Structure 1
Amino acid sequence: MTNCSRVPGFILQGFSGIPELQTISVAFFLFVYIFSFFGNISIITAVTLDSHLHTPMYFFLKHLSLIDLCSTSTTLPRALFAAMAGSEFISLPECAAQLYVFVFCAATECFLITSMAYDRCLAIYHPLTYGSTMTQQFCCALVGVAWASGLLFSSFHTVNTFTLSFCDPLLEHFFCDLPPLFRLSCTDPHKHEAIGFAVSGCVIMSCFALTVLSYIQIVATVLRIQSTQGRQKAFSTCSSHLITVILFYGTGSSTYMRAANGYSPFQGRLAAIFYSILTPTLNPIIYSMRNKDMKAALRKLYLR
Structure 2
Amino acid sequence: MGRRVNETAVTEFILLGLSSNPHVKIALFGLFLTVYLITVVGNGLIVLLAVADPRLHTPMYFFLSNLSFLDICYTTSSIPQMLSHCLSAKPTISHARCFAQMYISLFLGMTECVLLAMMSYDRWVAVCNPLRYTLIMSKKVCVAMAAFSWGGSFLLILVPSLTGQASLCGHNVVNHFACEIQAMLKLACSDTRGNQIIMFATSILTLLLPFGFILVTYARIIATVLKMHSAENRTKAFSTCSSHLMVVVLFYGTAMSMYLRPKSRTSSNQDKFIAIFYGTITPMLNPLIYSLRNKDVKQAFWKVTGRKRYL
* C-alpha separation in 2, matches of 1:200 and 1:96: 19
Q: Is the 8 A contact 1:13 1:170 kept in 2?
A: yes
Match of 1:258 in 2: 261
Q: How much does 1:16 deviate?
A: 2.0
Secondary structure of 1:90's match?
strand
In the TM superposition, 1:121-132 aligns within 5 A as 121-132=124-135
Can you give the 5+ residue segments of structure 2 that lack an aligned partner in the other structure?
Answer: none
* C-alpha separation in 2, matches of 1:62 and 1:250: 22
Q: Is the 8 A contact 2:50 2:56 kept in 1?
A: yes
- Higher mean C-alpha displacement, 47-56 vs 294-303: 294-303
Q: How much does 1:101 deviate?
A: 1.1
Cα distance per residue 1:219-270 (max 9 Å; x no partner): 0100101122221111111111000100111111111113331654200111
Cα distance per residue 1:188-235 (max 9 Å; x no partner): 212211221122223321111111111011001001011222211111
Gap change, CA 1:166 and 1:226, over 3 Å in 2: farther
In the TM superposition, 1:41-80 aligns within 5 A as 41-80=44-83
Match of 2:192 in 1: 189
Q: Is the 8 A contact 1:96 1:162 kept in 2?
A: no
Cα distance per residue 1:107-147 (max 9 Å; x no partner): 11111100000000000001111111100000000000000
Q: Is the 8 A contact 2:174 2:184 kept in 1?
A: yes
Gap change, CA 1:11 and 1:160, over 3 Å in 2: farther
In the TM superposition, 1:61-140 aligns within 5 A as 61-86=64-89, 88-140=91-143
- Higher mean C-alpha displacement, 167-176 vs 79-88: 79-88
Q: How much does 1:3 deviate?
A: 7.1
Can you give the 5+ residue segments of structure 1 that lack an aligned partner in the other structure?
Answer: none
* C-alpha separation in 2, matches of 1:241 and 1:171: 34
Cα distance per residue 1:20-77 (max 9 Å; x no partner): 3222111111111111111111010011000000000000000000000000000000
Which amino acid in the other structure matches residue 33 of structure 2? L
Choose the corresponding residue for 1:208, options 198, 208, 211.
211
* C-alpha separation in 1, matches of 2:254 and 2:164: 22
- Higher mean C-alpha displacement, 150-159 vs 171-180: 150-159
* C-alpha separation in 1, matches of 2:139 and 2:127: 19
In the TM superposition, 1:30-45 aligns within 5 A as 30-45=33-48
Gap change, CA 1:110 and 1:53, over 3 Å in 2: same
Which amino acid in the other structure matches residue 230 of structure 1? N
Cα distance per residue 1:137-194 (max 9 Å; x no partner): 0000000000001211222234457344353211111111011111111112122112
* C-alpha separation in 2, matches of 1:137 and 1:12: 44
What fraction of aligned residue pairs are identical, expressed as a percent?
Answer: 38
Gap change, CA 1:166 and 1:121, over 3 Å in 2: farther
Cα distance per residue 1:260-285 (max 9 Å; x no partner): 31654200111011000000000000
* C-alpha separation in 2, matches of 1:128 and 1:206: 28
Q: Is the 8 A contact 1:26 1:80 kept in 2?
A: yes
- Higher mean C-alpha displacement, 13-22 vs 146-155: 13-22
Match of 1:12 in 2: 15
TM-score (ref. length: structure 2): 0.92
Match of 1:300 in 2: 303
**Count of aligned pairs:** 303
Q: Is the 8 A contact 2:186 2:267 kept in 1?
A: no
Secondary structure of 2:284's match?
helix
Secondary structure of 1:11's match?
strand
